[in-house]
Amino acid sequence: MLVTSRSAAEYRAMFDLTATDLAAGSVLDCCAGGSSFAAETGARVVAVDPAYAIGRRALAETVLSGLRDGDRIIDRNRERFEWGWYGTPERRAAARVDAAHRFLADLGERPGRYLAGALPHLPLADASFELVLCSHMLFTWANQLDADWHRAALAELVRVSRREVRVFPLVVQGTGEPVGFLDELRTGLAASGHRTEVRDVPYRFQRGAHAMLVVRTGRR
């Protein structure tokens, strides 16, 4: 699985984040990889990813090779992407390089906000973050991770959230196909007292990926 480096601008568009959302309290970026969301957004963001266990030097290599691998995949599959949001492939690539370097610099300066951890068992207390964001992990890898894994992972994201969980995108990487078990997962969340919504977002890149799942926890 690629460790990618999306920027805070990409996160704001993928999760339709407003200044109010970000001012409301602490934010968890789970499956943060090499994203600069925490570095750019500030102290209230904590980032979790299993890749943080490998140490800073190895992680730097992984993140920088992830940039090259990501560009190659996109180059080979151009018809699966639309460019209106980024403008051009070059602008997207440059934004990712910038995000990767911001991430690596912040990791060196503020290592305490980057925690090694993996779904579906996060090393975090119940209700410890106001808002939980999950970019390009759930649903993206539904060709490798089944409905049971997703059910457990979503339950874990809800457990650590006080108010809301947002997940983007809702389609499988590569094919862009919708995930067949999404409705079943929503029904299960509703039965546990959590409200869900599939909401369109302003971000556009992978064809078919234009909506996020919002889960409002039963705590509020």
Beta-sheet pairing, 45-48 with 114-115: parallel
Computed from CA positions of residues 208, 143, 175, 97, in that sequence, does the dihedral angle turn out positive or negative?
positive
Q: Which residue is nearest to ligand SAM, using beta carbons? A: 33
DSSP letter string over 89-126?
Answer: HHHHHHHHHHHHHHHHHHHHH-GGGEE--BTTB-SS-T
Judged by CB under 6 A, the residue of 102, 136, 150, 194 near ligand SAM is 136
147 near ligand SAM, rule: CB under 6 A? no
- DSSP tag of 145: S
Nearer of residues 117 and 186 to ligand SAM, judged by Cβ: 117
Nearer of residues 31 and 131 to ligand SAM, judged by Cβ: 31
Q: Which of residues 90-119 bind ligand SAM (CB under 6 A)?
A: 118-119
Shortest separation between residue 2's beta carbon and ligand SAM, angstroms? 5
DSSP letter string over 163-183?
Answer: EEEEEE--B-TTT-PBPTTHH
How many whole angstroms from its chain centre is CA 80? 20
Nearer of residues 26 and 62 to ligand SAM, judged by Cβ: 62
64 near ligand SAM, rule: CB under 6 A? no
135 near ligand SAM, rule: CB under 6 A? yes
Quote the tokens at residue 113.
Answer: 């906000």
Name the one range near ligand SAM by CB under 6 A: 82-90, 100-108, 129-137, 183-191.
129-137
Asked if the peptide bond before residue 202 counts as cis, ω within 30 degrees of 0, the response is no
- In three-state secondary structure terms, 1 is coil
2 near ligand SAM, rule: CB under 6 A? yes
Name the one range near ligand SAM by CB under 6 A: 18-26, 49-57, 154-162, 207-215.
49-57
Nearer of residues 7 and 196 to ligand SAM, judged by Cβ: 7
CB half-sphere exposure, 73, CA atoms < 13 A:
13
CB 82 within 8 A of CB 207: yes
Shortest separation between residue 35's beta carbon and ligand SAM, angstroms? 4
Q: Which residues bind ligand SAM (CB under 6 A)?
A: 1-6, 31-33, 35, 49-51, 118-119, 135-137
